[in-house]
Structure 1
Amino acid sequence: MTLPELAVHVEHEPALDRRLWARPALPEHDTELLWTWMHKPHVVPFWAMDWPQDWIRDYLVRQNEDPARSPLLGFVDDVPVGYIEVYDPARDVLGAHAPVLPGDIGAHVLIGDEEHLGRYSVAIGRAVVRFLFKRPGVLRIVGEPDVRNHQFLSLLAFLGFRRAGEIDLPDKRAAFMVCEREDFERLSGRRRRVTA
C-alpha cells in the first residue's frame, strides 16, 4: 500500500527520471514488508532483526510512539524500496558512546529491495540526506554503521560523510560517521556539474 497522501518528502531524481518519496512506516500496513526485508541475506548481518513478524510489528509500534524517532518507508515511484529510521542521537545509544552535538540528527537506512541497490543507492542516499537537512535545526547528520558494512560506508563517503572514529556499541563495532551540510552540498554540486 503506497499511501502517497501521507508523504513527508517528495522529489524528482532527474538522472533516473524517477520520483523518490517517503511516508511514515505504519505497523498496520508495513509490518509484513519490513519483516520480509529483515530476512534478506544482505540485511541480516547488519540489522540482526530477522525476528518473528509480531516482533517486527511491536518494534514499529514502539518506533512510532517514541518522540525521538521517525520510522519511514521510502519509495521509488510506487515501489517500496527501503526503511529509514530518523532519530535524535542525543536520546539514542549513540549519544552515550560518541560526541554528538546540538543540531545533530541520525538515520538508519535499509534498502530492502535488491533491484534498487547499486545505481539507485546514490540517488536514494542523496534524497535521504536532503530530506534530513531540510528538517528545522539540523546542522549535521551522524550515523553508526557496522565497520564491516564496506559498501554502505563507501556510499556515505561518496555523499560527503567523514569517518570521525570508531566506537563500540552494545551490538557492534561501528564507524562514527558525520556529514556537514557544506560537505554534502559541495560534493553534490561538483558531481552535478561533472555529469551534466
Structure 2
Amino acid sequence: MAVKFNGRIINGFNISIRRNPFYGSNTGKNVTLLAALCQDGILGQPSRLRNIIENAAGNLDLPVEQVALDWFKQYLHICIRPIVGILNIYGLACEFHQQNVMLELDKTGFPAKVYFRDNQGFFFREGRKDLVSAALPGVADESQSMIDEESLAPKYTYYLVTNNILGVVNALGCCQLADERKLINLVYKAFRELEDEDETGLVSYILHKRNWYTKGNLITSLRNINEADENLEYPAVFLDTPNPLHKYFFSDKLIKPQTKDIVYSRYFEEENVNISIRPFDIEKDFEMVHEWFNREHAKPFWKMDGPKRDLELWFRTILPGDEQHSFIGCVNGIPQFSFEPYWPMRDIVGAYYESVPTDYGTHFFVAETQKDKKFSFQSFQVALDYIFMMPEVGKCIGEASVDAVPTDRIITRLGYTREGVIEMPHKTAYLTFCTREGYWEKCPESRFEAKVSD
C-alpha cells in the first residue's frame, strides 16, 4: 500500500504486508516478530517480552532475573553461532533487522528457533565469491552485493549486534527484567567463544574495535534524508559510536565509585606518613580543588585554572560519564593531591594509540609545594596500588606533557616505559605504559601491599 498525492506516490509511506505462515493454531508454533517482542508495552500495559519472562519465571518457580538471563543466553545460542557460521562457510550476510527476524518460542516460553524472512538486502563476502558465483552465476555483477571483509564487518555489526542483539538487551533492560551490564557481558562471552573460529574479521571487529560504525537513524531523519530516494551508496548517516561490549572490562571502582569514603590507605614507615584516597565529593571538595588548580605551579601543565563555573561544569560533565573520575589523596589526613583514573576506550587518548579495553590511565596532581610535605612519589604509589588492585586493569597509561619533566622522572622511577610521542589537540605528550610487573619490579614493597589487600 502507498500514499499518492497529486498523482505521485510519496516514498516513505509505503507499507508491505506479508503472509504469516505461522498464523492459526494448526501450526502448533508460537512465533513472534522480534520487533514486536522488543517493543514497549502499550497504554501502560506490560510488554509482550515482560509477560513471557514473568510467566516463565512463575511456571519454573525461579527468580525473574535468572529466567531473563537464561532466556537471553538461549537467544544468543541460536542466533550468534549460526549467523557467524553462515558468513564463514557460505559467505552470506543479511540485514538482520528486528523486523526481518521471527522468533519461535518453546512451551516454556524460551527461544527455540530463529526464522529469517525476505528483506531489503543480502550481501556476500569476497572470500566466498567463487562459491557464490558458482551457485548464482552473475549475481556479483548484477546485484553489486559483493563486499570485502574489511568493509563488511562494520556494516554487519550494525545489523546483527546494534540493531538486533542490543535491541533485545534494551528491551530486557527497559522492562527491568535483568541488569544490562550482565546482558552485555553475555554478548561479549558469546562472541569471544567464536573468535578463533571466525576467518572473516567480523568477530574481531565486534570484540576489539574501539568504535563501531553505526547508522544514525534520528540524524538521518533530522537531515531530511529519505533513504528510499537517495543514492544507494550513501543512503543514510553513519557515525562512530563507542563499543558497548568493552563494558565487560569496565571498572566501576575506578570510574563509577559508589562511595565517598576512604577506599585505600597505606602507611610508609620510613617517611612515617599514612596516605589515603577517597572518591571526589563535589559538594565537599570543589572549592578546595578550584583553589589548587589556580595555583601558579598548576597553571602551565593542568590548564584548568579560571572561574569556578567553568570547573564546576567540567566536573558535572565527567562525573556521570564512563570516561574518568577524580579522587582526593590525603597525607596524614590532610588533602594534598588528586588523581583521575580514566578509561582510554572513552577518553580522547585512546584514539592516539592501539588501545585495548583493559587499559586504564591516570592524571596525577600534587597541590603541596613544600618538599618536606609533598611525598609525590609515595602518593603516586598509592594511586597505582589502587589502580592495579582492579582485576579489569591490564596496564596503566600515561600521557604527561613533554614539558612536565618532574612527572617524567617520577613515573620512570615507578616503572613506566616511554612508547613514543603523541600530538594531542591540547598538548604534545609522551605516551608511557606501566604494567603490574614493571611497577612491582621498581617498587617491590608494593607487591606485598597488593597481597595484603587481596
Match in the other structure for 1:67: 322
Residue type matched to 1:52 in 2? P
Match in the other structure for 1:54: 309
Residue range with higher mean Cα deviation, 183-192 or 147-156 = 183-192
CA deviation vs aligned residue, 1:20-55 (integer Å, no higher than 9, x gap): 111111211111111111111111111111120122
Matched, 1:44 2:299: yes
Mapped to 1, the partners of 2:374 and 2:366 lie a distance apart of: 12
Equivalent pairs counted in the alignment come to 189
Q: 1:96 Cα deviation (Å)? A: 0.8
Q: 1:92 aligns with which of 347, 367, 375?
A: 347
Mapped to 1, the partners of 2:407 and 2:372 lie a distance apart of: 11
Higher strand share: 1
Match in the other structure for 1:136: 391
Mapped to 1, the partners of 2:445 and 2:385 lie a distance apart of: 16
Mapped to 1, the partners of 2:320 and 2:357 lie a distance apart of: 23
> Structure 2 unaligned runs (5+)?
1-258, 448-454
Match in the other structure for 2:192: none
Q: Is the CA contact 2:260–2:281 (under 8 Å) kept in the aligned structure 1?
A: no
Aligned-residue Cα RMSD (Å) equals 2.1
Mapped to 2, the partners of 1:117 and 1:143 lie a distance apart of: 26
Closer/same/farther in 2, CA of residues 82 and 116 from structure 1, 3 Å limit: farther
Q: Is the CA contact 1:7–1:23 (under 8 Å) kept in the aligned structure 2?
A: yes
CA deviation vs aligned residue, 1:92-125 (integer Å, no higher than 9, x gap): 1101112222311011111112136886111111
Match in the other structure for 2:422: 167
Mapped to 2, the partners of 1:5 and 1:101 lie a distance apart of: 29
SS of structure 2 residue aligned to 1:61: helix
Q: Is the CA contact 1:34–1:56 (under 8 Å) kept in the aligned structure 2?
A: no
Q: Which runs of 4+ in 1 moved over 4 A?
A: 116-119
Closer/same/farther in 2, CA of residues 131 and 191 from structure 1, 3 Å limit: closer
Superposed, 1:84-123 pairs within 5 Å as 84-115=339-370, 120-123=375-378
Q: 1:63 Cα deviation (Å)? A: 2.5
Q: Which has the larger radius of gyration?
A: 2
Identical residues among aligned pairs (%): 25
SS of structure 2 residue aligned to 1:85: strand
Mapped to 2, the partners of 1:67 and 1:111 lie a distance apart of: 24
Mapped to 1, the partners of 2:358 and 2:264 lie a distance apart of: 20
Closer/same/farther in 2, CA of residues 177 and 51 from structure 1, 3 Å limit: same
Match in the other structure for 2:413: 158
Superposed, 1:25-36 pairs within 5 Å as 25-36=280-291
Residue type matched to 1:65 in 2? P
Q: Is the CA contact 2:440–2:446 (under 8 Å) kept in the aligned structure 1?
A: no
Residue type matched to 1:46 in 2? F
Residue range with higher mean Cα deviation, 138-147 or 53-62 = 53-62
Residue type matched to 1:13 in 2? F
Residue range with higher mean Cα deviation, 131-140 or 160-169 = 131-140
Mapped to 2, the partners of 1:25 and 1:43 lie a distance apart of: 18
Q: With structure 2 as the length reference, what TM-score do the two structures score?
A: 0.40
Closer/same/farther in 2, CA of residues 165 and 117 from structure 1, 3 Å limit: farther
Mapped to 1, the partners of 2:284 and 2:444 lie a distance apart of: 37
